[in-house]
Amino acid sequence: MSNPPTPIPLERPVAPPLQRETTVGNYFVSNYPPFGHWKQEFVPEFEAALARPPAPGHPMGIYAHIPFCRKRCHFCYFKVYTDKDSSEIRGYLDALLAELALYAHQPVVGGRKPQFVYFGGGTPSYLSVDQLRHLIGGMKQLLPWEEVEEVTFECEPGTLTDHKLAALRELGVTRLSLGIENFDDHILEINGRAHRSKEVYRAFGYAREIGFPQINIDLIAGMVEETEENWRECIRKTIELSPDSVTIYQMEVPFNTTIYQRMKAEGKLVAPVADWETKRRWVDEAFRELEAAGYTIGSAYTAIKSKEKTRFIYRDRLWAGADLLSIGVASFGHINGVHYQNQHDFETYLAAIQSGRLPVYRALTPTAEERFIREFILQLKLGSVSADYFTQKFGTDPRVQFAAPLQVIREGGFLVNGGDRIGVTREGLLQIDRLLQEFFLPRHRGTRYA
């Protein structure tokens, strides 16, 4: 391989400090380099990437952002809208299809067919059955789905009727992801969730009855007014439901959330949620209970019931560098080696589509070194990685490339290194997003992630 990445110099003596209280800001690392370094001036590089044919055999998927919700959760930082009527929603869905059509005719697609599709939000299940048929049917006409291995659909339980669930199954959804977050109605209400516990059981029961191949449920550790007793009860009820997989996030309070706005108005620096030590302990307790019930820990956030049957194709392909055609307002993707993000305002996004232009707002072409870092840190979230895999792909042994940050993690007692595998301990996995910042290049450290 030409121009292999240059190893990061041995110059950093300590890991980021272990913070106790939850303060404002993003902790979750979902991409690299951080989004704040993606710039409008780099959009021509994205346009040039579209004009190049894809690398042979390189996988491609689709992400569709559905930004509509019944109400905005107090901890939500995504681009969502609660004020759009049916005609505006239909116009947006037409724009999604028009955007996908623009991509379908680009050389970068080159006859490729998607291997995975992900509907995120917002609340994709907010759409009506007719709207779902219009959107998914149109997508299948533009880029046929016969090679699709996984279709994931995020849902808010209160939006799922039996009729809608049956339609989703018929339309090809293979993994239903239910945003339960908590089973207690008071906790749901005070955190701004629209659904209640009875809707969880009704939706889950019918989804199981009609045979979705995989049902995932999301939980959040450390929500406003969550208690030890409540958390234990959430885990008990989760195990009782017996979903195919469980995803647990630790509560964070990004800048553009209702919780932060309240903190700002009251002059508070510490968020009214559990501290980091408590959140890590709660996730650890959940993982241990799930393991005792037969689950396997599959990443820093997930427990799976059957390693043979439960797969996360979207996650695993994306973390290994797959192309992602990302459509919709504020969505971000990766094409032919270039990161990009769409316009983040509803009207601006629609105006671009209506004028026949792709609505890309900012982009970035990662260097070889940055691509190496991106794949390594994302895959380390799985608990361990293969040194040989990265050596073959990037031309440098990651134990050499990342000697300095790995040493810091080792000194903290979080590193597990055995033969080909580079891994982290359970304690390290519970705070992996903090540790991953140790791998960031100096120019990417200390800035707002978004």
* Bridge pairing between strands 296-297 and 245-250: unpaired
Residue after which a domain boundary falls, among 287, 316, 345 = 316
The least confident of 4-18, 34-48, 283-297, 424-438 is 4-18
Same structural domain, 55 and 129: yes
Strand order of the sheet with strand 116-121?
Answer: 296-297, 302-304, 245-250, 214-221, 175-181, 150-155, 116-121, 60-66, 323-327, 332-335, 338-342, 360-364
Q: Is the same domain home to 26 and 89?
A: no
- Residue 45 confidence (pLDDT) above 50: yes
46-85 per-position pLDDT tens digit: 999 999 999 999 999 999 999 999 999 988 888 789 999 9
Q: What is the pLDDT of residues 125-154, one digit of tens each?
A: 999 999 999 999 999 999 999 999 999 999
Residue 349: inside a domain, yes or no?
Answer: no
Residue written as tokens 């030409």?
2
pLDDT band at 337 (very low <50, low <70, confident <90, very high): very high
Q: Are residues 1 and 53 in the same domain?
A: no
Residues 9 and 74 in one domain: no
Cα distance from N-terminal residue to C-terminal residue, the chain = 32
- Is 448 exposed, middle or buried (CB count within 10 Å of its CB: 0-12, 13-18, 19+)? exposed
Average pLDDT over the chain reads 93
Residues 18 and 49 in one domain: no
Residue 260 pLDDT grade (very low, low, confident, very high; cuts 50, 70, 90):
confident
| pLDDT score at 446 | 75
CATH number, domain of 389, equals 1.10.10.920
* 325 lies in some domain: no
Residue 398 lies in a domain: yes
Confidence tier at 450 by pLDDT (50, 70, 90): low
Token pair for residue 307? 């390693």
Q: Is residue 362 part of a domain?
A: no
116 plus 238 within the same structural domain: yes
For residues 191 and 310, membership in a common domain is answered with yes
Residue 153 domain-assigned (yes or no): yes
The domain boundary residue, chosen from 316, 332, 350: 316
Which tens digits make up the pLDDT trace of 176-215? 999 999 999 999 999 999 999 999 999 999 999 999 999 9
| Residue 393: per-residue pLDDT | 97
For residues 347-358, give the mean pLDDT. Answer: 97
In a domain, 190, yes or no: yes
Domain that holds residue 380: 1-33+367-450
Residues 100, 182 within the same domain: yes
pLDDT in tens, 1-26: 333 333 333 334 344 456 789 998 88
Residues 86 and 201 in one domain: yes
| Cβ proximity of 334 and 324 under 8 Å | yes
Q: Domains in the chain: how many in total?
A: 2
Q: Are residues 294 and 159 in the same domain?
A: yes
**Inside any domain, residue 339:** no
SS (H, E, C) 210-269: CCCCEEEEEEEECCCCCCHHHHHHHHHHHHHHCCCEEEEEECCECCCCHHHHHHHHHCCC
DSSP 317-333: HHHTT-EEEEESTT-EE
Rounded to an integer, what distance in angstroms lies between the CA atom of residue 358 and that of residue 348?
11
Q: In the structure encoding, which two tokens stand for residue 440, read together?
A: 């960031």
CATH of the domain at 276: 3.80.30.20
Model's pTM, two decimal places? Answer: 0.94
Q: Which two tokens stand for residue 66?
A: 């559905």
Residue that finishes a domain, picked among 283, 316, 349: 316
User: 227 and 117: one domain?
Assistant: yes
Q: Output phi, psi for 309, to 5 deg.
A: -100, -25
Considering the domain architecture, whether residues 42 and 27 belong to the same structural domain is answered as: no
Q: Is residue 296 part of a domain?
A: yes
